[in-house]
Structure 1
Amino acid sequence: MVSALLHPRLADCRRLFLRNYEVYINIGVHDFEKRGEQRVVINIELFVPLASTTPLEDKLREVVDYDFMRATVAKRVGRGHIHLQETLCDDLAEAMLEHPQVRAARVSTEKPDVYPDCDAVGVEVFRIKED
């Protein structure tokens, strides 16, 4: 995927990220996947305009709080079984874009324990909020 930072609508943004957030969730379409939790690694990048998120007073209220990303993940995975990583990525990206200060979001999920001969299998989505 081409770097999101090269997109012209993001030239005036800063990038926030949540990197390698491990959760254990019920995810998968196969019967054996529906009987227990799997380890999933989630990465999120948010692009927020510098004009509205550059702190002038060094106060948390002036920026997008990182807790927003973690809380949003917890809320989504707490809703129950998810069949597809694609669904999880799409749901998380949509929820990230609901924040009024977020212009774009990149979300990826990885299942690192599926195959013994590779690091992980996963999905990534990138979305930009419509004007």
Structure 2
Amino acid sequence: MELPLALATGLASRSRTRPVPKTYRIHIKDLMLMVRIGVYDYEKQAPQRVRVNVAMDVVQGVTPFDDNIDNVVSYDVIVDGIKALAARGHINLVETFADGIAELCLVDSRVRTVRLTVEKLDVFPETDGVGVEIERHQPDL
């Protein structure tokens, strides 16, 4: 199947004038933490199990990977940041924790979009977890 000439010409001229950015996705799956979280008095007595899942859409940038960790968004930095947020002290809402994680991920401007879930695992015995899922973007998108 051939493309109409106008469409083919437009695609060819666009590819010469504006390169398509290379992207990749980083994910952190089932990060399990003990977090002081919740609004009820019994939740303020002890930390509870929380599961965090994060997916970040990242633009590679002009520097090639070159097998060098300095040229990528490091999931080590993100995991350490999430642990640090959890260790700061009591958090009332899973929404607050999730928003803090999203902000942490978006500090690096190469991260264009972050999608994440935060779930408290021991709230109801009938479920595997309850929580929130959020999506945030760089402000210029």
Q: TM-score, normalised by structure 1?
A: 0.85
Deviations 1:17-63 (A, max 9, x none): 110000001000000000001000001111101344751x2111111
Aligned to 1:49: 59
Q: 8 Å contact 2:60–2:72 — kept in the other structure?
A: no
List structure 1 runs of 4+ shifted beyond 6 angstroms: none
Aligned to 1:127: 136
Aligned to 1:24: 34
Aligned to 2:102: 93
Report sequence identity in percent: 37
Aligned to 1:66: 75
Aligned to 2:15: none
Q: Which runs of 5+ in 1 are unaligned?
A: 1-10
CA separation of 1:14 and 1:78: change in aligned 2, threshold 3 A: same
Q: Is 1:14–2:24 an aligned residue pair?
A: yes
Q: 8 Å contact 1:111–1:120 — kept in the other structure?
A: yes
Deviations 1:61-111 (A, max 9, x none): 111111111111012112100000000001110111111321111121011
Structure 2 CA distance, aligned partners of 1:52 and 1:107? 27
Q: 8 Å contact 1:15–1:46 — kept in the other structure?
A: yes
Structure 1 CA distance, aligned partners of 2:52 and 2:106? 16
Aligned residues: CA RMSD: 1.5
Q: Which runs of 5+ in 2 are unaligned?
A: 1-20
Structure 2 CA distance, aligned partners of 1:79 and 1:100? 25
SS at match of 1:103: strand
Deviations 1:100-125 (A, max 9, x none): 32111112101111111111101011
Structure 1 CA distance, aligned partners of 2:63 and 2:83? 24
Q: TM-score, normalised by structure 2?
A: 0.79
Q: Is 1:110–2:119 an aligned residue pair?
A: yes
